[in-house]
Amino acid sequence: QMSANDCQDPPEYWTIHGLWPDKTEECNRTWHFNVTEIKDLLSDMRHYWPDVLHSSLNRTQFWKHEWEKHGTCAATLQVLNSQKKYFGKALELYQNVDLNSCLLKAGIKPSSSYYQMTAIKEALTRFYGVTPKIQCLPPEEGEKAQTIGQIEFCFTKELQLRNCTALKGESNPMQADLKLGTEELSVCSDTLPTYYPSQVQ
């Protein structure tokens, strides 16, 4: 999407956006990102948490942003209280959730025909026993279908899966951070046909 970007082969599997604490009490903003602390994780990071928006010269930009904005807040939990633990645990949760194979097992795969959002939700809930939050790009001018953009899983502080339903009156601090290109992601509509593209055009 970005003209200055050299992303040749976008991954054809779900990757990580981030691991975000919901309520950010104390965040140590002076705790700067240091890539050498995660050098053992780099091959997994490049594979499962790639930065597809910055050129290859600056591929750590995304991780730096995620650490400084979210990791420094997550670090109030002992299990996430270093850069190595934060990124390592996010990779581990990603592997445990294994969204790629769950969707395939449910017969939900990239296609040029549309899905019903309720069918996707039901499949995920059946598989995980909790309801994730599915976010979409709304239909473009003259189109009728929304496009799946992101699937968010919620965890307790003990890092057990839980439902992602927002409590009444609770705003979602994450929403502001989610921008894919210039279009906003928002919670998918249950009634619109849903496109799960094999290649993002």
Return the number of other C-beta atoms located less than 10 Å from residue 154's C-beta.
17
Q: Which of the residues 26, 37, 54, 66 is marked catalytic?
A: 66
Q: Which amino acid, 73? A: C
Using CA atoms, how far residue 178 sits from 17, 159, 175, 186, in Å, is 9, 22, 6, 9
Question: Could you confirm whether 66 is annotated as catalytic?
Answer: yes
Q: Which of the residues 25, 65, 70, 158 is marked catalytic?
A: 70
Phi, psi of 102 (to 5 degrees): -60, -45
Question: Could you confirm whether 17 is annotated as catalytic?
Answer: yes
Q: Which of the residues 17, 47, 65, 140 is marked catalytic?
A: 17
Which token pair is 26?
């104390």
Question: Could you confirm whether 65 is annotated as catalytic?
Answer: no
What is the DSSP secondary structure assignment for residue 115, as one 8-state letter? Answer: E
Phi, psi of 179 (to 5 degrees): -130, 130
What positions carry a catalytic annotation? Answer: 17, 66, 70
